[in-house]
Amino acid sequence: MPKMSRNINDSDSIKQYLLGELSGDELEAVERRMLSDADYYEQVLIADDELMHEFVNNELSDSDRAQFKKHALSVPQRRRGVKFVQALDHYVQKNAAQNVVPMEPVVVQPSWGEVLVAFFRRPAVGFACSVALLITLAPILWLLRENQRLRKELAQAPSQQALQEELRVAREQNRTLSEEIGRKQDLLAQRDRELLQLKAHEQGIDRTIPPSPESNTSLEIFPIALGMVREGGNGNKVSFRPDAKRIRLDIDLAANDFKMYRVALKRNGVERSIWSGPAEHVIVEPAKITLPVIVPTSILTRAEYEIDVRGIKSSRESEHVDTYYFRVP
Amino acid sequence: MSDRPQNQLDDIQPDSPQDLSVSIPQKEWVMTAEALEELLLWLDADREKAAEVYEQIRGRLIRLFMYRGFVESDEMADETINRVTRKAPRLRANYKGDPFHYFRKVADYICMEYGKKKTAPLPEVLPDLGLEIDESEPIHNCLDRCINQKLSTDEHYMVIRYFEGDGHEKIVNRQKLAERLGITLNTLRIRIHRVCRILRKCVDKCVDSEMELHLS
């Protein structure tokens, strides 16, 4: 009876092939596939092993068993296969009975990738990684922001050359302003002298405007120290030649805090000054600061005198510096 | 061969036994390096791949003859390859079909020549049920040795669990084992088969050595 065509992929076909029950087209189909298809070939080998196990364990039907004996066991290599299966079966029964089988579950060694994935999936690890990431990222972000800010500032900041140029211009302006201030102060001093001259003229007193410091060389100079008592003792004594028209009083300053000074002369404790004038050319020496004041001798008689020194601020306000005393014997 | 495709083979037919016996006696032909090279080139342009294909074909031909019930499966496989090799130059030039198909056709002719010779009658004593196992036989010592040498602890456990029990119990064991490993039953089946094949190879080699020692 011809065999009905069947799907060679099913296990029954392979089993029938192994039992030698296929022929014709079915046989050719199985053999062609077995030769050319690696997976199918492996299926055939597996089916062969299972057939042998079924034979050894008496799991085949009577007809299959008979066919197996007749077809498969006629080949020595397949007989060896059956012997092997029998020995293996015996080994399994012996070892299972003796409980030599490890009781721990079989661990299929995962790949390195699977190990890493499983490790990082743990909640504790995930949390720790998140915290570590935050701790690492925070300073990095801060540094990036600072870097950006500094770069911006640097871009906006002028170059060193520009700064130097700016400084040079500022110094130049400062020098110009200083010169201007000096000129203005000279002008003020000039105006003061003129005013004094006018007053003196009104009072009928021939007051000589103190000459500029350049013409002081022939004048008698009298040092006026601070702290000398008003009366008697060794106070500042000014005794000048009868023919002297002017004298120079070198007032000993404790400090030179002002650019310009003004002195007022008083006699015998009278509040009203008899003379006043500017003094600006301070002489600074290593151990001494001297404010020279040119005074006309015409106003000086035998008496006790008081010199009131005032510093002139840039705001034109004056501030009392010190009071000095001298007498004309 | 009623199903022979029209566009294949043409006059490049696998030699029929009659043709071969008249034209070139098979036993006088010897495989040479050049001839083998021609065959490999026909199998694949890549020399290494061609060598792999050659080994695959030989192994599968041996199985084919074995499953057909032939004892001299190795010899028949080599003869099949020899005959195909003789025609390799013409096949390279003209054959356009599947080489495996051609090999199978030649194997058919070889089977006809050998006339389904099952060399020996069935042995008197067959491995059968109910017979007590003789542990003194070399195969048992060899199996113990091979299991220790070739299998890991996990593989050993897998084999025991897979073959343990009878009938339904065995089926349940296998299902549990597959679940434990996280694989399908079919994957488990394939893994077990590959492990057993390694063991079988080791055991056969071991048994052959033992027999040689015994005989010497």
- Taking residues A74-83, what's their average pLDDT? 88
pLDDT of B14: 55
Tens of pLDDT, residue by residue over A224-258, are 988 655 544 457 889 999 889 999 999 998 888 88
Is B134 a residue whose pLDDT tops 60?
Answer: yes
C-beta atoms of A31 and B73 within 8 A:
no
C-beta atoms of B126 and A91 within 8 A:
no
Instruction: Classify residue B63: in a domain, yes or no.
Output: yes
Cα–Cα dist A300/A307, whole Å: 13
Mutate to test the interface with B, among A9, A13, A36 (most CBs of B within 10 A): A36
C-beta atoms of A75 and B118 within 8 A:
yes
Is B215 a residue whose pLDDT tops 90?
Answer: no
Do B44 and B81 lie in one domain? The reply is yes
Number of domains, chain A:
3
Can you give the residue range of the structural domain that contains A126? 111-157
Residues of A in contact with B66 (CB under 8 A): 75, 77-78
Do A126 and A237 lie in one domain? The reply is no
Query: Which residues, numbered 4 to 43 in chain A, qualify as contacts with chain B under a Cβ-Cβ cut-off of 8 Å?
Result: 17-18, 20, 25, 28, 31-32, 34-36, 38, 41-42
Do A214 and A299 lie in one domain? The reply is yes
Is B139 a residue whose pLDDT tops 50?
Answer: yes
Do A129 and A89 lie in one domain? The reply is no
Is A45 a residue whose pLDDT tops 90?
Answer: yes
Look-up: residue for tokens 């070198």?
Answer: A250
Residues of B in contact with A99 (CB under 8 A): none
pLDDT of B28: 64
Instruction: Classify residue A195: in a domain, yes or no.
Output: no
Residues in a beta bridge with A61? none
Is B116 a residue whose pLDDT tops 80?
Answer: no
Instruction: Classify residue B124: in a domain, yes or no.
Output: no
Instruction: Classify residue B6: in a domain, yes or no.
Output: no
Longest dimension (CA), chain B: 63
Of A102 and B21, the structure prediction assigns the larger pLDDT to: A102
- Taking residues A112-125, what's their average pLDDT? 74
Binned at pLDDT 50, 70 and 90, residue B59 comes out as very high
Number of domains, chain B:
2
Can you give the residue range of the structural domain that contains B201? 138-215
Cα–Cα dist B156/B154, whole Å: 5
Instruction: Classify residue A172: in a domain, yes or no.
Output: no
Residues in a beta bridge with A237? A327
Do B22 and B85 lie in one domain? The reply is yes
Do A28 and A92 lie in one domain? The reply is yes
Q: Which token pair is B130?
A: 């109910």
Query: Which residues, numbered 126 to 145 in chain A, qualify as contacts with chain B under a Cβ-Cβ cut-off of 8 Å?
Result: none
Residues of A in contact with B151 (CB under 8 A): none
Nearest CA in chain A to B121: A74
Domain with residue B155: its CATH number is: 1.10.10
Average pLDDT over chain A reads 82
Instruction: Classify residue B89: in a domain, yes or no.
Output: yes
C-beta atoms of B101 and A32 within 8 A:
yes
- CB of B188 closer than 8 Å to CB of B179: no
Cα–Cα dist B160/B173, whole Å: 10
How far away is chain A from the Cα of B143, in angstroms, using its nearest Cα? 7
pLDDT of A103: 43
C-beta atoms of B166 and A25 within 8 A:
no
> Is 0.80 surpassed by the pTM of this model?
no
Is B3 a residue whose pLDDT tops 50?
Answer: no
Do A147 and A234 lie in one domain? The reply is no
Nearest CA in chain A to B129: A56
Pick A36's closest partner by Cβ from B69, B98, B126.
B98
Query: Which residues, numbered 80 to 99 in chain A, qualify as contacts with chain B under a Cβ-Cβ cut-off of 8 Å?
Result: 80-84, 86-93, 95-96
Q: Taking Cα atoms as reference points, which of B92, B74, B73, B79 lies closest to residue B34?
A: B92
pLDDT above 70: percentage of residues in chain A: 83
DSSP summary character for residue B45? S
Do B110 and B145 lie in one domain? The reply is no
Do A212 and A321 lie in one domain? The reply is yes
Q: Taking Cα atoms as reference points, which of B85, B94, B24, B20 lies closest to residue B58?
A: B85
Helix (H, G, I), strand (E, B) or coil at A250: strand
Cα–Cα dist A147/A134, whole Å: 20
Long-range contacts of B123-131 (CB under 8 A, 24+ apart): B123/A73, B123/A79, B126/A69, B126/A73, B126/A79, B127/A56, B127/A73, B127/A79, B127/A82, B127/A83, B127/A86, B129/A56, B129/A58
Do A304 and A235 lie in one domain? The reply is yes
DSSP summary character for residue A286? T
Instruction: Classify residue A186: in a domain, yes or no.
Output: no
Do B146 and B205 lie in one domain? The reply is yes
Do A50 and A72 lie in one domain? The reply is yes
- CB of B98 closer than 8 Å to CB of A36: yes
Tens of pLDDT, residue by residue over A274-319, are 899 888 688 888 778 899 999 999 989 999 999 999 998 888 788 9
- CB of A31 closer than 8 Å to CB of A20: no
Average the pLDDT over each of A53-67, A113-127, A163-177 and give the range with the smallest value: A113-127
Q: Which token pair is A159?
A: 């170059």
Pick B127's closest partner by Cβ from A41, A77, A79.
A79
Instruction: Classify residue A226: in a domain, yes or no.
Output: yes
pLDDT of B135: 74
Phi and psi at residue B119, to the nearest 5°: -60, -50
Mutate to test the interface with A, among B8, B112, B163 (most CBs of A within 10 A): B163
Is B216 a residue whose pLDDT tops 50?
Answer: yes
Task: Output the 3-class SS for A258-285.
Answer: CCEEEEEEEECCCCCCCEEEEECCCEEE
Instruction: Classify residue A106: in a domain, yes or no.
Output: no
Tens of pLDDT, residue by residue over B90-101, are 888 888 888 888
Is A159 a residue whose pLDDT tops 80?
Answer: no
Average pLDDT over chain B reads 80
Amino acid identity of A288?
K
Do B21 and B79 lie in one domain? The reply is yes
- CB of B26 closer than 8 Å to CB of B20: yes
Nearest CA in chain B to A109: B154
Size of interface A-B (CB pairs under 8 A): 134
Cα–Cα dist A192/A194, whole Å: 5
- CB of B65 closer than 8 Å to CB of B73: yes
Binned at pLDDT 50, 70 and 90, residue B35 comes out as confident
Instruction: Classify residue A179: in a domain, yes or no.
Output: no
Last residue of a domain, one of A46, A69, A97: A97
Cα–Cα dist B44/B46, whole Å: 5
DSSP summary character for residue A10? S
